[in-house]
Amino acid sequence: MINFLKDICKESFWLKILTSGIYIEDSQIFSRLLVANAVLYVVGVLVGFFTIYHLLITGNYVIALFDALALFFVTALLIQLRIKKSLQMFGHFMAVGTVVIYCFFMGTTQNENMSFIWVVFLPFFIILVNGWKKGLWYVLSFFAIMFPLAYLNIGVWDNGEWNSVHFYRLVASLILALMIALLIDYTKVLAHKRESGMRQKELLYLNELKIMSRTDGLTGLYNRHYFNQVFQEKINELAHAKHSLMFFIVDIDYFKAYNDYYGHQAGDEVIQRIAVAIRKFIQRENDLVFRLGGEEFGGLLDARKPEKMAQWLKQLSQVVESLKIKHAPGVGLPFVTISGGVSTMKPASSITMEELYRNADKALYKAKNEGRNRFVIDNRYQTSDGDKHHHGETHNQKTLKGK
């Protein structure tokens, strides 16, 4: 018993009761369902108590029967809310049922022992669940029935003590309750709109930060940080894939000489133009292109036919040369060009991310050694893990001065 009392004093206990069966992402609908849940529990406890009270203490079996019917209605609404989880349907049944029950309640009790005090809660029940737009019509329908009924029974209800003053007090109380309920719900709607607007701005801001965190500011391509993040993910995907993963590195030939001769601003413009050319050349949705740093670019491509894709990728050097960007004097090249290295990893391959990168890097420097303005394909893992073709690289390649 003591443990049970400790449990019900915990916040999580009441939270579980009020939110049981409610899984709605929209905060406004969730709030209305929460109110409906709370109202049903409170009303259920009250009418249950009064049912027992009238049965055992007052002996008023008519009111006890009425309370029992109300308890049955509340229970049915709780079940309907759990099964359907539809606020619109629940709100309609709840409003219509509440109006009918209150009409019978007023006609039956006739304000005996000031029983009409419970009627003041009706606008709150209906409007806070249905919203002020729909709930207003339900409440006005109730007023249209009850106001004439209460007026016509002046001198009849409450053993003849129901008079015009009581009637006007009832009307004023119900209208005041209606206005308060409308204001509460309307302010909740405004608060929800404001909260939604702020949340939307936060999401836009977070999306912008996310884009900025993975995008290179100069070229608009993905940056090195995002490359490091997605590279291993792409390799992990190969475990259950039917395609190979192709990785390439591209480097602008003699970029240092170009930068020194024309200046850093001109160098940035060249990087931008080449980035645009690479992105236009590689347009598939799942293919990723990165600026790895400085004048170096990289890409991760899904390749179902790696040999054909590698040959297609070689055309990228011709695309960049066709831009006809005049190179710096003395480099032996009339226009700015690129060199590239390509490596491939087949599905279920045992090579690591570092090996795939290193193989492409070696192929790049082989392209530099062979005269630049070309792509070199590393074929060592194109056939299988056990059939390695070294494609002529040496393991002691030196970084070329000026690239």
Could you give the percent of the chain with pLDDT greater than 90?
Answer: 34
Q: What per-residue confidence (pLDDT) applies to 18?
A: 57
- Whether 112 shows a pLDDT value over 90: the answer reads no
Q: What pLDDT is attached to residue 3?
A: 52
pLDDT over 90 at 66, yes or no: no
Are 278 and 296 spatial neighbours (Cβ–Cβ below 8 Å)?
A: no
For residue 268, give the amino acid letter: D
Residue 23 has pLDDT above 60, yes or no: no
Contact 269, 263 (CB under 8 A): no
Given a cut of 60, whether residue 387 has pLDDT beyond it is no
Q: Which residue has the higher pLDDT, 124 or 9?
A: 124
Strand partners, 290: 222, 298
Average pLDDT over the chain reads 82
Rounded to the nearest 10 degrees, what angle do helices 27-53 and 164-214 cross at?
140
Helix (H) or strand (E) holding 125: helix 122-130
Residue 261 has phi, psi (to 5 degrees) of -80, -45
From the list 25, 26, 28, 35, the residue with the least C-alpha distance to 129 is: 35
Q: What burial letters (b/e) apply to 361-395, b meaning 16+ CB within 10 Å?
A: bbbbbbbbbeebbbbbbbbbbbeeeeeeeebebee
Contact between residue 122 and residue 39 where contact means Cβ atoms under 8 Å apart: no
**pLDDT of residue 392 exceeding 80:** no
Residue type present at position 198? M
Q: Under 8 Å CB-to-CB from 134, ≥6 apart: which residues?
A: 91, 95
More confident residue, 325 or 26: 325
Query: What is the pLDDT at residue 12?
Result: 58
Tens of pLDDT, residue by residue over 122-174, are 898 889 888 888 899 999 999 999 899 999 998 888 888 889 999 999 999 99
Read off φ and ψ for residue 270, nearest 5 degrees: -65, -45
Query: Binning pLDDT at 50, 70 and 90, where does residue 262 land?
Result: very high
Q: Do residues 291 and 218 make contact, with C-beta atoms less than 8 angstroms apart?
A: yes
Q: What count of other Cβ atoms lies within 10 Å of the Cβ of residue 345?
A: 25
- Residues 223, 366, 375, 226, Cα dihedral to 10°: -10
**CA-to-CA distance for 245 and 345, rounded, in angstroms?**
5
Per-residue confidence band for 10, with pLDDT thresholds at 50, 70 and 90: low
Three-state DSSP class for 247? Answer: strand
Q: What does the pLDDT average to over 13-30? A: 62
Is the Cβ–Cβ distance between 37 and 18 less than 8 Å?
yes
pLDDT beyond 50 at 400: no
Residue 7 in tokens: 């449990």
Token duo for residue 64: 């006890």
Higher pLDDT, 252 or 32: 252
